[in-house]
Amino acid sequence: MKRTCLALLALFASAPLLAAGDSHGALAVDRTDKFHYGFSHDYASGPAASERALQECAKHSANCAVVMRFSGKGCVAYATVPPDMGDAIGWGSGKTKALAKQQALAACEKDSAGAACSHNVWACNGSGSGKLRVERGAAAQQGA
């Protein structure tokens, strides 16, 4: 699992910059158990979206980091297993909530060793007309 996370971080470190004129959102996750989170959506800037996601996550954990930022019109989703069931996680993005959740659940279940990825969240930017752009891992943290 650690190799998978490192590979994802390396893969997305070169993700395109988020569009400046569209709505922005972010996901912050507890770095220890990956179970607690905070989301934001429809913010005017990436930094404001990241700050809000960190504030929401901090209500449940003191060890949060921004792991995903997005801009444009569309949805993102995050899925994980309960902390006592392992550390499988999954991400998804798409034009609709259903598509984003489907991708996140499929990615999580691939690494979950049969555990249900019952903990999942999503957010959608409802305004803006730009194409959905997503930054994950190190790229999202650098832009926070």
Q: Select from 73, 77, 67 the least CA-distant residue to 98.
A: 77
Asked if residue 105 is part of any domain, the answer here is: yes
CB 120 within 8 A of CB 77: yes
Q: pLDDT tens digit string along 3-60?
A: 333 333 332 332 334 445 689 999 998 888 888 899 999 999 999 999 999 999 999 9
Asked if residue 3 is part of any domain, the answer here is: no
pLDDT at 18: 46
More confident residue, 124 or 5: 124
More confident residue, 115 or 14: 115
E strands, the chain, are 24-30, 37-43, 64-71, 74-80, 89-94, 119-125, 133-136
Asked if residue 14 is part of any domain, the answer here is: no
Asked if residue 12 is part of any domain, the answer here is: no
Q: pLDDT tens digit string along 60-91?
A: 999 999 989 999 999 999 999 988 888 889 98
Mean pLDDT, residues 117-136: 86
Asked if residue 59 is part of any domain, the answer here is: yes
Domain carrying residue 40: 22-142
Number of domains in the chain: 1
Asked if residue 118 is part of any domain, the answer here is: yes
CB 123 within 8 A of CB 41: yes
CA–CA distance, 32 with 51 (Å, rounded to integer)? 19
CB 42 within 8 A of CB 126: yes
More confident residue, 102 or 138: 102
Asked if residue 8 is part of any domain, the answer here is: no
Asked if residue 15 is part of any domain, the answer here is: no
pLDDT at 16: 37
Tell me: pLDDT of 131 over 80: yes
CA–CA distance, 22 with 31 (Å, rounded to integer)? 28
CA–CA distance, 85 with 50 (Å, rounded to integer)? 28
CA 24 to chain CA centroid, nearest Å: 12
Q: Select from 60, 63, 43, 61 the least CA-distant residue to 52.
A: 43
